[in-house]
Structure 1
Amino acid sequence: MNRHIFALQRVARRTFSSSGRRLENQVPQKQKMFQENDGMPIHLKGGVGDTLLYRATMGLTVLGSGYVVYELVKWACPKKA
């Protein structure tokens, strides 16, 4: 049992060591891009992905609202049997 715990500790130390590749800090570039005053809304400054996500969200919102109105009208005017 203890042998397995010690093996797990060795693997964990090896996995989280600092000998891996170094990543560049991209925060300053992102801050500069998002703080730029170019008249574009902040939720669209991320590029194509943000634009697609925004349009999909708005489309689903419009479709959902339309469906709710349809159901309310259907309930308000029941069919006569």
Structure 2
Amino acid sequence: MNHLLVTTTVLFLLLSTSLPPVSVSGFSSGSFQKVPSLAVRAFSSSTRQLKNKVPEAQKLFQEDNGLPVHIKGGTSDVLLYRATMTLTIAGTCYSLYWLLMASLPPKKA
């Protein structure tokens, strides 16, 4: 028990001492302090303001025009819906075909 206490105390003292700045392959520790200001500058959006389009989309999708919600977005939504349904039906048929082929006994040569 005493050895553990001495070891942790020594480690704590070694880690808590202030070490001089270390240069690693040409980079001093001061050059790493510039990164946060560069990151802030890169993500600032002072050049343009985005318009909130959510209220317009809410009006479009809450309108009672008899269309299902998955095609209220227009032609692109209709095309995406039809492509998805085609791929789903084709994939189901393809998997059923191979299940049928796997269930039949192999042909004798």
TM-score bracket for the superposition, by shorter chain length: 0.7 to 0.9
Bigger Rg, structure 1 or 2: 2
| Structure 1 unmatched ranges of 5 or more | none
Taking structure 1 as the reference length, the TM-score comes to: 0.80
Per the alignment, in what secondary structure is the counterpart of residue 2 of structure 1?
A: coil
Aligned length: 81
Query: In the alignment, which of 39, 42, 58 is matched to residue 85 of structure 2?
Result: 58
Taking structure 2 as the reference length, the TM-score comes to: 0.63
Shift in CA distance, 71/27, structure 1 to aligned 2, threshold 3 Å: same
Percentage identity across paired residues of the two chains: 47
Shift in CA distance, 79/17, structure 1 to aligned 2, threshold 3 Å: closer
| Alignment-mate amino acid for residue 104 of structure 2 | C
Structure 1 residue 18: deviation in Å?
4.7
Q: CA RMSD in A?
A: 1.8
Per the alignment, in what secondary structure is the counterpart of residue 49 of structure 2?
A: coil
Per the alignment, in what secondary structure is the counterpart of residue 30 of structure 2?
A: helix
User: How far apart are the structure 2 equivalents of 1:49 and 1:10?
Assistant: 42
User: How far apart are the structure 1 equivalents of 2:72 and 2:61?
Assistant: 7
User: How far apart are the structure 1 equivalents of 2:64 and 2:40?
Assistant: 45
**Which structure shows the bigger proportion of residues in helix conformation?**
1
User: Which structure is higher in RCO with an 8 Å CA cutoff and minimum separation 6?
Assistant: 1
Q: How does 1:2-81 map to 2 (within 5 A)?
A: 2-81=29-108
Greater mean deviation of Cα atoms: 54-63 or 16-25:
16-25
Structure 1 residue 13: deviation in Å?
1.9
